Chains A and B, each alone.
Chain A
Amino acid sequence: MTTTSKSSRLDPEPMPRRDFLGLAAMWAMGASAAFALLGILRLPRAAVLPAPSKKFKVALPESLADGEPFVPPGRSVALFKDKDGVYAVSTICTHLGCIVKQSADGFACPCHGSEFHKDGTVKKGPAPTALPWLAVTKDGGSFVVDESKVVDPGTRLT
């Protein structure tokens, strides 16, 4: 196809007006449908997460030996006490969210066999990362663990 230099128009084959209007109408329709769809998809994405508070108060038993995990009933957190202080390790498996159980020298996950050392680092299995350490603060004679606040491993409350 060669464009003729005679024509001063930019488009050598002008589109009939009716085609143009029809196409414009179709694109407008498509664009508004897409826009509406985005709005529709915005709804199921919750902005406020209706979850119970992740903070809880716990007292350590007197008899707890250094380096022994203590799991408060109904919680998925293990608390430890040693000469450097108190710390909390989450017991929610970083693989797919099962609750790990205490094993001889750390934790073991019942779901796909991940194993962790006592400090939460991965020993074996599919878990991609270490069990996170959680923030512990003191409140009178007991401790407050905030499950939603992850701290660097090694952080202890002295």
Chain B
Amino acid sequence: MSDASGATSGVTAMGRFLANLREIPKTFRESLVRGGAPTTDRTRSSFVFGNVFLHLHAVRTHRWSLRWSTTAGLGIMSVAAFLITLITGVLLMFYYKPYPDAAYVSIKDLHFVVPTGRFIRNIHRWAANVMVVAVLLHMARVFFTGAYRKPREFNWLVGMGLLAITLGLSFTGYLLPWDQLAYWAITIGANIAQSPREVTDALKITEYFDPGGLQRLLLLGSSDVGEEALIRFFLLHVMILPLALVALLGVHMWRVRKDGGIARPDDADARLGPPPADTYPVFTEAPQKTYQIAAIVKGKTPAVGKGPENTVPSMPHLFYAEMGVFMLTVLICTALALVSDAPLKELANPNVPENPAKAPWYFLGLQELVAYSAFMGGIGIPSIVLLGLGLIPYLDREKEGTGLWFGGPGGVPLVLLSTVYGFGTAFALEAFAIRFGWIREWWPDVPQLVITAINPGTVLTALYAGFSIWAVKRWGSTRAGALALFTCFLCGFILLTVVGQHFRGPNWVFYWSPSEWPGH
């Protein structure tokens, strides 16, 4: 319809105005969805790559990626849990006041007075926990399927950044209620940041070189845990970390697409068998488009004349799967929120520590190590683990087993062996230290540096490293070493977390069960 012709053809301006008014629902829909309703494979494709959110996905998805056992939906579950925390978090901000004591009262109000406040707070808490679990499991899935290998090395690093931010978000959030749990967790956390002093003090150089003191100062903005610290953690929790997470998440998803979709074995097509009859082959519609795209997309040339590819349109197949995972995550979080309340202890009291003062569960493994050496448990060993994780894709340049669970030299038997070794050594060391104590109990005058260097945490790390080197030699493969190391650390993490969560009571003393704790 051209507007210039309207004036000459006798239709009044008013008539055109009314006609346009009537047309608004239709014209608005057309402006929203370019190219009309997506009803054919072709229009659905253009819908996917024309939409700013959907175009993070490829237009077509390989059938291998859609198998439940390929990803277990864990990446999407992490995204879903994050979105849930985002929405519930904004709701909590309506009432939360980031000021000591006022913070505590506002959370109490949210919990007891605000309509649906407790439910929203519970969902926020649970979604944060679900997110940590999902991210850890997602990382394990990427590792065990060898999906970090070329060309996905960089995305593995992006993922590690996401893991760090996820843990940072959970930890900063833990502090906001300003109750006893929060106050003592932030005190311990800030002092862990300061723990490089354990080494600099022993070397007597703290006066000149004090990275620990600087870290603590930046975190707390003061010499004490107080209003400055709370506002900083609040800022990190609601602003800096979420923004950083969203930015990195965008890169992460985009790279998944640009690295050729989810990793799959070379013979994925043979393993899957022929596509089901209702799958539309790629090149039956608008082949000319494919040739145009081929000019700008690098990689193998399109499989013209090779018969149908084993891919299906992302819309709707992938989107249904994602929606399913999303709904499941919402279900899990709301169900947990209904049966279990987020904790709120007494108002923070700087003179009486919570006893035992426990960190959030995913840090209890570290707390267990911190109880041997603050620096090694809180900074040294985590740095070693992060460095090791980051190096994995650059050291393992092999091809065998990519895209298959526990693929590569060693395979399932090695993973089982590593599980036994990982749990066994961690268990033996813990049992030994709990039963017989550690160096200072035997020789009270031993220098601190000796304890920093030799404690159950570092011994365990060394045992794991030794085992992994053995695996490299035994199977003649870096992947075997990586499988051994990752499995061991995973088992150590689980065992230490369980010990910290369940078997440690007041004064961090070992108890078989919390019911044996002495009464307060």
Question: B440 contacts A96, CB within 8 Å?
Answer: no
B351 close to chain A: CB less than 8 A = yes
Contacts of A57 in B (CB 8 A): none
Min Cβ gap B120→A in Å is 31
CA distance A36 to B506 in the complex (A): 48
**Given known A46-B217, A50-B222, A99-B352, contact A124–B441 (CB-CB < 8 A):** yes
**In this complex, what residue of A is CB-closest to B449?**
A128
**Given known A96-B188, A110-B353, contact A126–B221 (CB-CB < 8 A):** no
B184 close to chain A: CB less than 8 A = yes
Question: B371 contacts A46, CB within 8 Å?
Answer: no
CA distance A68 to B214 in the complex (A): 37
**Given known A46-B217, A110-B356, contact A97–B187 (CB-CB < 8 A):** yes
Question: A110 contacts B224, CB within 8 Å?
Answer: no
| B-contacting residues, A57-113, CB 8 Å | 74-76, 95-99, 108-113
**In this complex, what residue of B is CB-closest to A74?**
B351
Question: B351 contacts A96, CB within 8 Å?
Answer: no
Question: A110 contacts B370, CB within 8 Å?
Answer: no
Question: A51 contacts B224, CB within 8 Å?
Answer: yes
Question: A110 contacts B440, CB within 8 Å?
Answer: no
A14 close to chain B: CB less than 8 A = no
A46, A108, A126 — which one has the most chain B CB atoms within 10 A of its CB? A126
Contacts of A74 in B (CB 8 A): 351
Question: A49 contacts B222, CB within 8 Å?
Answer: yes
Min Cβ gap B212→A in Å is 12
Chain A interface residue bracket vs B: 20 to 34
Min Cβ gap A125→B in Å is 7
- B507 is contacted by which of A97, A113, A126 (Cβ under 8 Å)? A113
**In this complex, what residue of B is CB-closest to A113?**
B508
**In this complex, what residue of B is CB-closest to A71?**
B351
**Given known A122-B440, A124-B440, contact A97–B188 (CB-CB < 8 A):** yes
B192, B351, B448, B507 — which one has the most chain A CB atoms within 10 A of its CB? B507
A76, A111, A112, A124 — which one has the most chain B CB atoms within 10 A of its CB? A111
- B353 is contacted by which of A44, A111, A122, A126 (Cβ under 8 Å)? A111
Contacts of A97 in B (CB 8 A): 187-188, 190-191
Per-residue interface assignment for chain B, residues 340 to 364, with 1 indicating a CB less than 8 Å from any chain A CB and 0 otherwise: 0000000000111111110000000
**Given known A51-B224, A98-B184, A112-B508, contact A123–B192 (CB-CB < 8 A):** no
Min Cβ gap A13→B in Å is 30
**In this complex, what residue of B is CB-closest to A50?**
B222
- B374 is contacted by which of A99, A108, A109, A126 (Cβ under 8 Å)? A126
Question: B218 contacts A125, CB within 8 Å?
Answer: no
Contacts of B308 in A (CB 8 A): none
Min Cβ gap B417→A in Å is 33
| A-contacting residues, B212-252, CB 8 Å | 214, 217-218, 221-224, 226-228, 232
Contacts of B192 in A (CB 8 A): 96
CA distance A96 to B354 in the complex (A): 13
**In this complex, what residue of A is CB-closest to B369?**
A126
Contacts of B214 in A (CB 8 A): 45
CA distance A66 to B230 in the complex (A): 41
CA distance A44 to B352 in the complex (A): 29
B372 close to chain A: CB less than 8 A = yes
Contacts of A76 in B (CB 8 A): 350-351
Contacts of B276 in A (CB 8 A): none
- Chain B contact residues, CB within 8 Å of chain A: 184, 187-188, 190-192, 195, 198, 201-202, 214, 217-218, 221-224, 226-228, 232, 350-357, 367, 370-374, 437, 440-441, 444, 448, 451-452, 506-509
| 13 additional contacts (CB under 8 A) given A95-B191, A112-B367, A129-B448 | A45-B218, A46-B228, A50-B226, A74-B351, A76-B351, A96-B192, A97-B188, A98-B184, A108-B507, A111-B353, A125-B371, A126-B374, A128-B452
> Top 6 A-B pairs ranked by shortest CB distance?
A110-B355, A112-B371, A96-B191, A98-B353, A113-B508, A97-B191
- Chain A contact residues, CB within 8 Å of chain B: 44-46, 49-51, 74-76, 95-99, 108-113, 122-126, 128-129
9 contacts between A and B (CB under 8 A): A44-B218, A45-B214, A45-B218, A95-B374, A98-B187, A110-B355, A122-B440, A126-B370, A128-B452
